Amino acid sequence: MARQAHASKKNLQTGARVALLGFVANVMLAFAKILAGFFGHAYVLIADGIESTLDVGGSIVIWGGLTVAARPPDKTHPYGHGKAEPIAAVVVALGVLAGALAIAIQSVREIFLPHHAPAPWTLAVLIVAVIMKETLYRYVIRFGRSAESTAVKTDAWHHRIDAMTSAAAFIGISLALIGGKAWQSADDWAALIACALIGANGYRLLRPAFFEIMDTAPRGKFVRSIRRTARSVPGVIEVEKCRARKMGLDFYVDLHVGVDGKISVREGHEIAHQVKSAIQQSDSRIADVLVHIEPAEL
């Protein structure tokens, strides 16, 4: 049990460091994009920089959520502080949706305003941004999936979204440069497309985090594995109920086990301990198991 809690805390602390890495990268890119967009007359690049600025806030929220989630259980939080992780993910996802709406409104305004054609050198900034963000996405999502962290996976998709918006900006600026005066607003239309991508991914990030806060049951395969492990314990005749919920990076399981009604209380207690031990050994993510012993109908 102690080993599993330690592993979970280590993953949360590593996730916090990954979020800080994203924070540093986002600060650098946001600053570079906004300056390049301003001096290069490319509103789509400014919009992309604003999206990167939102990522800065998102990385801070993710870092804070993971830091709180790593705290051990206490009197007021006997199950730990794991819910801080999906709450952070929800805050970030809502920020993404709000940012998409704000950028879309400004993009529409810019379409109808006269402005200079974007400078060709702004394309170089976008190429660097796409490479950096896609690399960060691949690094962070790999850790997020291995640790089963909703917040870290949300942070990873933030990087992927930024890479997508930078790619859209690259296309828009390229069209504006190739098409001449008639296509000067192409970068603004690209900003609108980028907003649609941001909004769609914001919704994609919000769903799993919201489900986790609502204690949505894990996928059927997870529960079936727990049932199978419980039935393998000597003395277990049937498994009637099995519930599981995710708390941060850990899972908590509650199940009803049917045994021979003629055995002693001590024997039933021993079987319950064996069931709990077998389930925790079968999956290191399971922090605790509550076993209800019931007489089985023979």
CA end-to-end span of the chain: 34
Q: Are residues 151 and 133 part of one domain? A: yes
| Token digits of residue 35 | 């300056």
Q: Are residues 92 and 234 part of one domain? A: no
Q: Are residues 186 and 101 part of one domain? A: yes
Cα 43 to Cα 27: distance, rounded to the nearest angstrom: 19
- Bridge pairing between strands 238-247 and 250-259: antiparallel
Position 269 scores a pLDDT of 93
DSSP SS3 for 67: helix
Position 4 scores a pLDDT of 46
Position 182 scores a pLDDT of 62
Q: Are residues 139 and 178 part of one domain? A: yes
Q: Are residues 147 and 187 part of one domain? A: yes
Position 278 scores a pLDDT of 94
Q: Are residues 255 and 156 part of one domain? A: no
Question: How many Cα atoms within 13 Å fall on the side-chain side of residue 158?
Answer: 38
Q: Are residues 257 and 195 part of one domain? A: no
- Bridge pairing between strands 286-295 and 238-247: unpaired
| Token digits of residue 123 | 């394309």
Which pairs with CB-CB distance under 8 Å and at least 24 residues apart come from 37-40? 37/122, 39/119, 40/118, 40/119, 40/121, 40/122, 40/125
Cα 224 to Cα 165: distance, rounded to the nearest angstrom: 40
Number of domains, the chain: 2
Which residue in this structure is represented by tokens 């059927």? 220
What digits encode the pLDDT tens for the residues 101-150?
A: 877 787 777 677 666 667 788 888 889 888 988 998 998 888 888 777 77
Q: Are residues 269 and 194 part of one domain? A: no
Provide the residue range defining the domain that includes 285. 220-295
CA angle 268, 270, 276 (to 5 degrees): 105
Q: Which CATH number belongs to the domain containing residue 249 in this structure?
A: 3.30.70.1350
Last residue of a domain, one of 151, 183, 213: 213
Q: Are residues 229 and 166 part of one domain? A: no
Q: Are residues 264 and 179 part of one domain? A: no
Position 184 scores a pLDDT of 63
Position 228 scores a pLDDT of 93
Q: Do 85 and 151 contact (CB within 8 A), yes or no?
A: yes
Beta bridge partners of 241: 256
Beta bridge partners of 168: none
pLDDT in tens, the chain (298 residues): 444 444 566 676 677 777 777 778 888 888 888 888 888 877 667 777 776 777 777 778 877 887 888 788 888 888 888 888 888 888 888 887 887 787 778 777 767 766 666 778 888 888 988 898 899 899 888 888 877 777 788 778 878 877 877 887 788 778 877 876 666 667 677 777 777 877 887 787 788 888 888 877 787 788 899 999 999 999 999 998 898 888 877 888 999 999 998 999 999 999 999 999 999 999 888 888 999 999 987 6
Q: Are residues 250 and 235 part of one domain? A: yes
| Token digits of residue 115 | 């402005």
